[in-house]
Structure 1
Amino acid sequence: MTFVDEVKKGRFLSATCDLSLPFTVDEWILESGIQCKLLQRGVLQITPIEQMSTAKDIVLSSGVHGNETAPIELIQQLAEGILLGQIEPVHRLLLIIAHPEAINNKTRFIDENMNRLFKVRNQERNIDCKIANQLQEAVNSFYGSSTVIQPEKWHLDLHCAIRRSEHYTFAVSPYSHKLSRSNSLFSFIQYAKIEAVLLANAPSSTFSWFSAEYHGAQALTIELGKVADFGENDLTLLSFFSHALMKLITESTLPISWNNDVEVYRVNRTLLKQSKSFFFSFPNDLPNFTFFKEGTYLGRDNEQEFFADEKGEAVVFPNANVALGQRAALMVKKAHIIFDEQVRLCG
């Protein structure tokens, strides 16, 4: 059984993670006329037989962190449905299971956090850098080879949080210099019943930021529950998201609306780890979006102490164990948005 044979049978995930199977670039046509093309290990391009003037080029990525399994299972289900002729997308897709080595190792990464490696091309000092470079090339090629004029570009990078959260599902909208916060993107957030969205206030080096900044893609990092092993995810908790994702890829457009059902947050400040003595005053398993009243002591980094800001703040992605110079936490506040030519914060 070859790598391609496995994928053709719908076993995209198992083929990707079986490193004993040599990878080969290949392409084939399904009975429906849909073109399938294997670009890299874990990277599958899907092209419908006909594309409308409203066509999108959509990147759906998972496995950037190898132990975040629920999104990987969702991408496998989607790939299987397409490969076996049960799902017929009307938009070009790039399906990604990003880091098979980390998946097999049941860890977030091998040597470096890969979701910090998308700012520029990396020196290939380890497997994480090598894969990040390959993914950049795959996305560049995908967006650069569109078969329609000026398609709407999307990138949903699917993750799980390493801790519990006050919001079981939430999205992070990366900050970019491109118009990457469309009304249709935020309508999708609401349609998928994602509980909260956080608007970043500065550039980063994440995968979704890469697509937003360099390609003007409507991009999100989406957190879908908490990390669990394969087979232990309750995917029924993600049924609204799965349904919305199916609608996104099989229908030309989705309705545009915003009913304020989604909690909106803005980044107030970013705490960076500057010394090995950095610590937080709260437990390691504190849920994301936990709120602290103004003046609450949060932690210390050498001589610098951290306190909750005026009118209080909530904490997202706290991690005192990150490498020096990296983000140790985001401190956020609730906000409101309005639909204009692009979604923007009120006030």
Structure 2
Amino acid sequence: MTASIFDGHFLQCTLDNPLHFEPHSWLTDTGLRISHVANGVLEILPHDSETSIIISSGIHGDETAPIELVDRLASDIITGKLVPKVRLLLIIAHPQAILAHTRFIEENLNRLFNGINEEKNEERALANLYQHCVEAFFAPAPLGAERWHFDLHSAIRNSAHYMFAVVPATSHPCDIRPLIQVLDDAEMNAVMFSRTPSSTFSWFSCEKFGAIGATLEMGRVAPLYQNDMTEFEPLRKTLCNMLVQDKNSLLKKEPTRLESYKVTRTITKYTDHFSLSFSDDAANFTQFDTGELLAQEGGIEYRAAEGGEAVVFPNSKVANGQRACLMVQSFSYDWSKPLYVNIDADPGPLHIG
């Protein structure tokens, strides 16, 4: 039997991946207008709200816990168990990669969100589609209204912090303390503040549309439906709480759970001669003492900076020209002051444009 979106089968309908998708919308008994605007893209609009939230998953096809979480949210909304009071866009991306249980087919989709791509492969076409959907979703919201984007992922390796967030650096001022508060409520273990612009999905929404957002890493990759979703229940409940209240940027208590890190630098692989000095399966946030060798490329050596550094997302197998790892250090800030994630500078209470 063919899965029906009207019965809440969002994921299955996405994986069916019809060649000729027909957008359609309907009104629910709870007063929501739900629009299936593209395969894997569901827009939910209450009668009256200015707050807009995007929750995306599947940008990497083998990161399945986020996919299951978004599918649960969609099912609960369609069947009337959850009634959002905010404008909501749910995305389950890249059905081909999900079905193949692989990160991507030809190219890393999460490096393609920086404008229109020449559609020479599936990932580039999908990046264009999702950028268009985000722009169309945010466009009706008035200036000054809350905009959020949570791009959900899973790590491909062990981590000293099982669940952590990566906050993009943007060129405009955005106090991200409300985001820190959400992450703390969701019982995330750590947050990492970026230092340079990127072409990730969450960066696109934050940089181009002024959203508050982050990439959220949820545990480790696993086959679809083989995740222990109880591990992510605090995150699901926190997201649900955000959906049923129209204002989420009010500051409350100071977070107590989160370890904070700042990115000190990005190590990029330029040639096939690049190598890491440690195992490719080293855990995220593995610590290195001052001066320890991190990587080599030709005659260039990369060593840990003064005070030591920890490594995140190490991968020597990336394509030339892409990030091989991020280096981070512990970071503290004053909760009583704004917190801006700056480009080419430390996070802090002053925006450095």
SS at match of 1:132: helix
CA distance in 1, matches of 2:232, 2:135: 30
Residues 292-333 of structure 1 deviation map (CA, whole Å, 9 limit, x = unaligned): 111111221111112111111000000000111110000000
What is the CA-CA distance between 1:20 and the residue it aligns to? 4.4
Alignment of 1:47-196 (within 5 A): 47-51=45-49, 55-146=50-141, 150-196=144-190
Residues 44-83 of structure 1 deviation map (CA, whole Å, 9 limit, x = unaligned): 00001232xxx41001000000010000000000000000
CA distance in 2, matches of 1:102, 1:315: 27
Question: Which residue does the alignment assign to 1:14?
Answer: 12
What is the CA-CA distance between 1:120 and the residue it aligns to? 1.6
Unaligned runs of 5+ in 1: none
TM-score in terms of structure 1 length = 0.94
Contact 1:335–1:346 (8 Å) recurs in 2? no
Moved over 3 A (4+): 339-342, 344-347
Overall identity of the aligned pairs, in %: 41
CA distance in 1, matches of 2:215, 2:337: 22
CA distance in 2, matches of 1:152, 1:231: 33
* Aligned partner (choices 270, 279, 285) of residue 283 of structure 1: 279
Counterpart of 2:124 in structure 1: which amino acid? C
Contact 1:336–1:346 (8 Å) recurs in 2? no
Question: Which residue does the alignment assign to 2:265?
Answer: 269
CA distance in 2, matches of 1:339, 1:33: 39
Counterpart of 1:102 in structure 2: which amino acid? A
Question: Which residue does the alignment assign to 1:302?
Answer: 298
* Aligned partner (choices 205, 209, 222) of residue 228 of structure 1: 222
Q: Compared with structure 1, are the counterparts of its residues 21 and 77 closer, same or farther at alpha carbon in structure 2 (3 Å cutoff)?
A: farther
What is the CA-CA distance between 1:341 and the residue it aligns to? 6.4
Whether 1:35 aligns to 2:33 is: yes
CA distance in 2, matches of 1:149, 1:267: 30
Structural RMSD (CA): 1.6
Q: Compared with structure 1, are the counterparts of its residues 17 and 181 closer, same or farther at alpha carbon in structure 2 (3 Å cutoff)?
A: farther
Question: Which residue does the alignment assign to 2:246?
Answer: 252
Residues 7-39 of structure 1 deviation map (CA, whole Å, 9 limit, x = unaligned): 111000000110247411101000011000011
Deviates more, 1:9-18 or 1:180-189: 180-189
Query: Aligned pairs, how many?
Result: 341
CA distance in 2, matches of 1:256, 1:118: 33
Contact 1:35–1:46 (8 Å) recurs in 2? yes
Whether 1:46 aligns to 2:41 is: no
SS at match of 2:237: helix
CA distance in 1, matches of 2:278, 2:25: 52
SS at match of 1:89: coil
Residues 134-184 of structure 1 deviation map (CA, whole Å, 9 limit, x = unaligned): 0000000000023x5632000000000111100000000000012334322
CA distance in 1, matches of 2:178, 2:273: 44
SS at match of 2:70: helix
What is the CA-CA distance between 1:41 and the residue it aligns to? 0.6
Counterpart of 1:106 in structure 2: which amino acid? H
Contact 2:166–2:214 (8 Å) recurs in 1? yes
Q: Compared with structure 1, are the counterparts of its residues 124 and 142 closer, same or farther at alpha carbon in structure 2 (3 Å cutoff)?
A: same
* Aligned partner (choices 304, 309, 313) of residue 317 of structure 1: 313
Residues 273-295 of structure 1 deviation map (CA, whole Å, 9 limit, x = unaligned): 01101111211111100111111
SS at match of 2:243: helix
CA distance in 1, matches of 2:208, 2:245: 26
CA distance in 2, matches of 1:202, 1:249: 30
Q: Compared with structure 1, are the counterparts of its residues 149 and 328 closer, same or farther at alpha carbon in structure 2 (3 Å cutoff)?
A: closer
Question: Which residue does the alignment assign to 2:344?
Answer: none
CA distance in 2, matches of 1:87, 1:131: 29
Q: Compared with structure 1, are the counterparts of its residues 224 and 236 closer, same or farther at alpha carbon in structure 2 (3 Å cutoff)?
A: same
What is the CA-CA distance between 1:253 and the residue it aligns to? 3.5
Whether 1:207 aligns to 2:207 is: no
Contact 2:180–2:255 (8 Å) recurs in 1? no
Contact 1:173–1:181 (8 Å) recurs in 2? no
What is the CA-CA distance between 1:210 and the residue it aligns to? 0.3
Unaligned runs of 5+ in 2: 341-346
